[in-house]
Amino acid sequence: MKILAKTGNEAMAYAMKQINPDVVAAYPITPATEVVQIFSNYVADGEVDTEFVAVESEHSALSACCGASAAGARVMTSTASQGLALMHEILYIAAGNHLPIVIALVNRSLSAPINIHCDHSDTMGSREAGWMQLYCANSQEAYDSIPIALKIAEACGVPAIVSTDAFIISHCMDRLEVLEDDEVQKFIGEYNPKYFALDLENPKTYGPLDLQDYFFEHKRSQIDAFSKVLSTYNKVAKEYEKLSGRYYPAVEEYKTDGADVAIFTAGSTADTAKEVVDELREQGRKVGLVRMRMWRPLPVEEIKAALGKFKAVAVMDRSDTMADFGGPVFLETRGILYDLDKKPIITDYVYGLGGRNVEIADIVRVYDEISEIAKTGKVKKLVTYLGVRGEE
């Protein structure tokens, strides 16, 4: 086992190097610039065999990725925020054509106002595009998630996004355990797509016009491919555990045994909340944490099993839906828990927009408030904007 010191961006670039994709087409954007900048060094130094395509925008980057992937190549790219927004149109095209592209993404808020720091509004805005989404809590997880995501994407014909929190993970130096190159290669295997456009013996057409008579059937089959992602994930994550000793469930529970209340959140905040849980547990408080790692597809049964047992749950959402009804994780979690006979009271805390720091005290406050809700059964405020000035 090799131990390195790397930032989140360096870790994702290193994972890409070990995968050695056939094609990477990318356009730089803060805070994900380093991922492709470092990767382009690997290309220049001959450490990978990748064809690196420097393009003029993210729209072009993902378009070039789609072309390469349809041609039969193993393809990756990287972006953040506005870059993902500019890719939005092509996200659907990659997914609709079942092209297993992987994006190493850094979560950053969307303009306006312009900001370069972390929130999850970029990927949350792309939930319906047909990409698997994995939200990582630290650099190690980001490194591990890249080959995991690639393997699932190629097995299911579904593209994938692996994301880290802007600066908090992307630029923070961390201890990183890495696999050997050949271990990664063996894990992901050779990419042999069943169909590819450059099959000269059996020519294919990708992306033809599909009207009222067949469009719906093709969408239905896309949803079916997506329905196999979670079971494939569970298998691949176990396989990766055998290789690395590190296991990442789609929904992670932390000290939930005997807990009355829990926070349900994602990304680096989950790691901060673990510290809070440790402290509160020492004080004898019955609190736990559930971490959302996969948010597309929704791990419905896992979320029911993880959250159904509490008296009260606070979702911490790092983006808002502008529905005037809280954040996306909150809304979808409420939908998932609706069918349970006995369900927790569930409230939402929208926090950390534009990189606003979330502190230990903020998380303690959330635990205090949901503990009170669990005791009294009364919800004073369904959606709270946590850490914003001008609010109680």
Partner 1 sequence: MKDVKVECQRLMDWQELAKGCLIQEAATSRHFKTGDWRSLRPVWDSEACIQCLFCWITCPDTSIKVEDGKVVGIDYEFCKGCGICAEICPPKASAIKMVREEK
Residues 131-160 as x/- pattern, contact with partner 1 by CB under 8 A: --------------------------x---
Query: Radius of gyration of the chain from Cα atoms?
Result: 21
Please tell me whether residue 195 binds partner 1 under the rule CB under 8 A. yes
Residues 232-271 contacting partner 1, CB under 8 A = none
Please tell me whether residue 205 binds partner 1 under the rule CB under 8 A. yes
Please tell me whether residue 89 binds partner 1 under the rule CB under 8 A. no
Identity of the amino acid at 262: A
State whether the Cα torsion 375-380-383-388 is positive or negative: negative
Instruction: Output 206 or 385, the one with its CB closest to partner 1.
Output: 206
Instruction: Output 104 or 132, the one with its CB closest to partner 1.
Output: 132
Say if CB 73 and CB 44 are below 8 A apart.
no
* Cβ at position 75, least distance to partner 1 in Å: 15
Please tell me whether residue 63 binds partner 1 under the rule CB under 8 A. no
Assigned token pair, 317: 């959402």
Instruction: Output 124 or 153, the one with its CB closest to partner 1.
Output: 153
Distance between CA 164 and CA 34 in Å, rounded?
13
Q: How far is CA 257 from the centre of its chain?
A: 26
Decide the pairing of beta strands 132-135 and 294-296: antiparallel
Please tell me whether residue 224 binds partner 1 under the rule CB under 8 A. yes
Instruction: Output 202 or 283, the one with its CB closest to partner 1.
Output: 202
Instruction: Output 95 or 386, the one with its CB closest to partner 1.
Output: 95
Say if CB 118 and CB 107 are below 8 A apart.
yes
Rounding to the nearest 10 degrees, give the CA dihedral for residues 142, 144, 147, 151.
-110
* Cβ at position 354, least distance to partner 1 in Å: 37
Say if CB 124 and CB 228 are below 8 A apart.
no
Decide the pairing of beta strands 160-165 and 132-135: parallel
Assigned token pair, 248: 């990442």
User: What are the residues whose beta carbons fall under 8 Å from the beta carbon of 347, sequence distance 6 or more?
Assistant: 312, 313, 314, 315, 330, 369, 370, 373, 379, 381, 382, 383, 384
Instruction: Output 195 or 247, the one with its CB closest to partner 1.
Output: 195
Select from 95-103, 135-143, 259-267, 357-365 the region that touches partner 1 (CB under 8 A).
95-103
* Cβ at position 157, least distance to partner 1 in Å: 6
Please tell me whether residue 203 binds partner 1 under the rule CB under 8 A. yes
* Cβ at position 27, least distance to partner 1 in Å: 25
Select from 101-109, 216-224, 287-295, 346-354 the region that touches partner 1 (CB under 8 A).
216-224
Instruction: Output 97 or 107, the one with its CB closest to partner 1.
Output: 97
Which residues are 288's β-sheet partners? 262
Please tell me whether residue 327 binds partner 1 under the rule CB under 8 A. no
Instruction: Output 43 or 225, the one with its CB closest to partner 1.
Output: 225
User: For the chain, how many residues are written?
Assistant: 392
Kindly state the number of chain residues that form the binding site for partner 1, as judged by CB under 8 A. Answer: 24
Instruction: Output 223 or 340, the one with its CB closest to partner 1.
Output: 223
User: What are the residues whose beta carbons fall under 8 Å from the beta carbon of 337, sequence distance 6 or more?
Assistant: 303, 304, 307, 308, 343, 344, 346
* Cβ at position 199, least distance to partner 1 in Å: 10
Please tell me whether residue 210 binds partner 1 under the rule CB under 8 A. yes
Distance between CA 104 and CA 25 in Å, rounded?
12
Distance between CA 188 and CA 142 in Å, rounded?
16
Per CB under 8 A, the list member of 43, 55, 225, 243 interacting with partner 1 is 225
Residues at the interface with partner 1 (CB under 8 A): 96-99, 157, 195, 202-208, 210, 213-214, 216-218, 220-222, 224-225
